[in-house]
Amino acid sequence: AAGVIQSPRHLIKEKRETATLKCYPIPRHDTVYWYQQGPGQDPQFLISFYEKMQSDKGSIPDRFSAQQFSDYHSELNMSSLELGDSALYFCASSLGTGLGELYGYTFGSGTRLTVV
Amino acid sequence: AQSVTQPDIHITVSEGASLELRCNYSYGATPYLFWYVQSPGQGLQLLLKYFSGDTLVQGIKGFEAEFKRSQSSFNLRKPSVHWSDAAEYFCAVALGGDDKIIFGKGTRLHILP
């Protein structure tokens, strides 16, 4: 079965550089969520999109922005990178109907961002 | 605000022993409940989920969880652990079908040979 695809798997950037992470949801899933997981931490919700509109916002720094495109893939743009941005970034997708068993998150394998 | 508490940061059990990982949530209504497992440097794998109905939920890899409304708990259990079960386990909640998932701090499971 198709899964959530994230690219790249690994990314190394220098401080103050910009990074773009991509997420391709499961086919027919219309909702995308982004999470950040620092070393030894639990995943923290950043932002979500439903039908290409921002649906919720968490602890996302102002230096970060994201969008969902017409094909439902999403991109997380991170500017002025700081050492503290080094983390595993997960994307998850779901079908935004909330219809019981049809509902469910599927997470991608993540992008490991290292800022040096 | 909704929250998830996993009181045990680390748990060590012997291979073949039974396991119970605790999870309590704080929310007025019954949320959607999940358990995820994460091996070091890997992604999050869904073990099981509860929305409604039977309070004993069966998951993958021989795991099960029981929802107890009176205790606001959703503990994960396995009758006999294997060395490959060593990982980080996250309990998580969501308010509804379209809502974000909130994770607990996680419990690191160590297996003794």
Question: Which residues of chain B lie closer than 8 angstroms to A46, CB-CB?
Answer: none
Q: Is the pLDDT of residue A99 over 80?
A: no
Judging by DSSP bridges, how do beta strands A44-50 and A53-57 pair with one another?
antiparallel
Q: What is the structure's pLDDT at B99?
A: 78
Question: In chain B, which among 10-69 make CB contacts under 8 A with chain A?
Answer: 32, 34, 36, 41-46, 49, 51-52
Q: Is the pLDDT of residue A34 over 80?
A: yes
- Give the residue-averaged pLDDT of B50-67: 93
Q: What is the structure's pLDDT at B11?
A: 97
| Residue of A53, A89, A105, A111 for testing the chain B interface, max B β-carbons within 10 Å | A105
Cα–Cα distance, B106 to A36 (Å, whole number): 15
pLDDT band at residue B31 under the 50/70/90 scheme = confident
Mean residue pLDDT across chain A? 91
Closest partner residue to B97 (CB to CB) among A88, A99, A110 is A99
Q: Do A94 and B98 touch (CB under 8 A)?
A: yes
Q: What is the structure's pLDDT at B48?
A: 93
Nearest to B96 by CA among A96, A4, A53, A74: A96
Q: Which residues contact A2 (CB under 8 A, 6 or more apart)?
A: A26, A27
Q: How many CA atoms lie within 13 A of A87 on its CB side?
A: 21
One-letter amino acid at A2 equals: A
B44-67 b/e (C-beta count within 10 Å ≥ 16 → b): bbbbbbbbeeeeebebeeebbbbb
User: Does B95 touch chain A if contact means CB atoms closer than 8 Å?
Assistant: no
Cα–Cα distance, A72 to A102 (Å, whole number): 18
- Give the residue-averaged pLDDT of B26-52: 87
Closest partner residue to B44 (CB to CB) among A58, A107, A112 is A107
- Give the residue-averaged pLDDT of A73-101: 86
pLDDT digits (tens, 9 = 90+) for B76-106: 999 999 999 999 999 999 877 667 889 999 9
How many CB atoms lie under 10 A from the CB of residue A22? 16
Q: Is the pLDDT of residue B51 over 90?
A: no
- Give the residue-averaged pLDDT of A81-100: 84
Question: Which residues of chain A lie closer than 8 angstroms to B106, CB-CB?
Answer: 42
- Give the residue-averaged pLDDT of A75-94: 96
Q: What is the structure's pLDDT at B67?
A: 95
User: Does A25 touch chain B if contact means CB atoms closer than 8 Å?
Assistant: no
Q: What is the structure's pLDDT at A100?
A: 43
- Chain A residue at shortest CA distance from B96: A98
Q: What is the structure's pLDDT at A97?
A: 58
User: Does A42 touch chain B if contact means CB atoms closer than 8 Å?
Assistant: yes
Q: What is the structure's pLDDT at B41?
A: 80
pLDDT digits (tens, 9 = 90+) for A21-32: 999 999 888 889
- The more confident residue out of B51 and A82 is A82
CB pairs under 8 A between A and B: 60
Reply yes or no: is the peptide bond before residue B7 cis, omega within 30 of 0.
Answer: no
